[in-house]
């Protein structure tokens, strides 16, 4: 297993708070990083590159001099329909963002640009084929997005996906998919993951930039309320069935969606809310720092219990 040198000694817990579209912003990132976990956000959560640059400056200023703060990260959508990729990448390089998470395409030029200043690149994958292509592009880590994850998710069991990636990739491997407790994080480590990737659990925090009704729906939902479909954004993703109904759609008869186009993404995700199958284990809305403390305590208890056996 391989935790990046840049992370060694800087994390209370080997966890990344996933960059969630329209959800993760400076407040959430800063509170997670101050708590010793890696906080991240998508560049496209700001409407312009200048707004993105402003957020980078704000996060860096708020974390400067904070003892024990973990590195932060940014998500770049590497898809041909993202017109801001070049400008946003230039901002990432200028600010020397410690971690870049790439999605929907692994491009060597992007990896090389981040490596030019010593940054790390982790890439989302849902299959061995995607993982092999990303490894060829030179990424430092692979995020195994398995069945049950929120947002754009795969359909493979975490055991199958993690095992296949480990068979050929020697870099950092991060597991995603219905992880929401410290015990889940410990289980991911036992399976061979270097880090855990938590998204949905951080939606139910005070700092998440979503309506209160969304957070309440997360708390009241169960795994059976999650719908896996390509018919919301053009790519398979998991969504909350009650939000589909509230948007005036029939979850069982969703109209086909055209191919993914990043210019239309925000419209789709504002009306219908995403979440992973781990919603059934979420029962409260907490400040992010309190959630991080809970995850650390749960993780340590789980590891202690296992060692005791």
Residue 4, in any domain of the structure? no
pLDDT above 80 (res 252):
yes
Name the pLDDT band for 271 (thresholds 50, 70, 90): confident
Give start and end residues of each alpha helix (H) in 96-181: 108-115, 128-136, 158-166
Complete edge-to-edge strand list for the sheet that includes strand 226-229: 151-152, 237-240, 226-229
Average pLDDT (172-193) is 97
Average pLDDT (245-272) is 80
CA angle 11, 16, 20 (to 5 degrees): 150
**Does 26 share its domain with 71?**
yes
**Does 91 share its domain with 31?**
yes
The pLDDT assigned to 261 comes to: 60
**Does 118 share its domain with 222?**
no
Residue 1, in any domain of the structure? no
**CA dist 257 to 89, 121, 306, Å?**
29, 30, 46
Q: How many residues does the chain have?
A: 309
Residue 203, in any domain of the structure? yes
CA dist., res. 206 & res. 224, Å (int): 25
**Does 265 share its domain with 132?**
no
**Does 190 share its domain with 231?**
no
Residue 277, in any domain of the structure? no
The pLDDT assigned to 223 comes to: 98
Q: Could you tell me the CATH number of the domain that includes residue 96?
A: 3.20.20.70
pTM over the 0.85 mark: yes
Domain limits at 146? 15-210+283-308
**Does 77 share its domain with 115?**
yes
Average pLDDT (172-177) is 98
pLDDT above 80 (res 260):
no
Helix, strand, or coil here: 57? helix
Phi, psi of 158 (to 5 degrees): -60, -30
Residue 276, in any domain of the structure? no
Q: What percent of the chain has pLDDT over 90?
A: 87
Helix, strand, or coil here: 104? coil
Number of domains in the chain: 2
**Does 112 share its domain with 254?**
no
Average pLDDT (165-173) is 96
Residue 8, in any domain of the structure? no
**Does 183 share its domain with 253?**
no
**Does 173 share its domain with 118?**
yes
**Does 138 share its domain with 246?**
no
Residue 9, in any domain of the structure? no
Average pLDDT (267-291) is 93
**Does 203 share its domain with 141?**
yes
Average pLDDT (41-67) is 97
**Does 36 share its domain with 93?**
yes
Residue 278, in any domain of the structure? no
Q: Do 207 and 49 form a contact (C-beta atoms < 8 A)?
A: no
Concatenating the DSSP letter of every residue in 216-269 gives: HHHHH--GGGEEEESTTTSS-EEEEHHHHHHTT--TTSPPP-PSP-HHHHHHHH
């Amino acid at each position: 297993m391989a935790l990046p040198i840049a992370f060694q000694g800087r994390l209370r817990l080997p966890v990344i708070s996933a960059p969630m579209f329209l959800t993760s912003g400076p407040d959430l990132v800063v509170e997670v990083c101050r708590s010793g976990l890696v906080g991240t956000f998508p560049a496209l959560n700001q409407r312009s590159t200048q707004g993105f640059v402003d957020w980078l400056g704000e996060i860096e200023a708020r974390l400067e001099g904070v003892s024990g703060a973990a590195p932060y990260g940014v998500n770049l959508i590497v898809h041909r329909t993202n017109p801001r990729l070049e400008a946003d990448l230039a901002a990432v390089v200028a600010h020397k963002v410690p971690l870049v998470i790439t999605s929907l395409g692994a491009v060597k030029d992007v990896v090389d640009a981040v490596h030019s200043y010593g940054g790390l690149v982790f890439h989302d994958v849902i299959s061995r084929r995607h993982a092999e292509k990303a490894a060829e592009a030179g990424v430092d880590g692979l995020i195994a997005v398995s069945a049950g994850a929120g947002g754009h998710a795969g359909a493979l069991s975490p055991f199958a996906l993690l095992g296949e990636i480990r068979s050929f990739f020697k870099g950092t491997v991060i597991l995603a998919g219905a992880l929401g407790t410290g015990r889940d994080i410990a289980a991911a480590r036992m399976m061979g993951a270097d880090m855990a990737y938590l998204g949905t659990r951080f939606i139910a925090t005070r700092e998440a930039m979503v309506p209160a009704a969304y957070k309440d729906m997360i708390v009241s939902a169960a795994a059976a309320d999650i719908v896996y479909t390509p018919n919301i954004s053009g790519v398979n993703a998991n969504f909350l069935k009650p939000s589909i109904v509230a948007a005036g759609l029939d979850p069982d008869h969703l109209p086909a969606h055209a191919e993914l186009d990043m210019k239309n993404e925000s419209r789709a995700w504002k009306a219908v809310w995403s979440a992973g199958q781990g919603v059934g284990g979420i029962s409260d809305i907490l400040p992010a720092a309190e959630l991080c403390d809970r995850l650390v305590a749960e993780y340590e208890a789980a590891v202690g219990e296992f060692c005791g056996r």
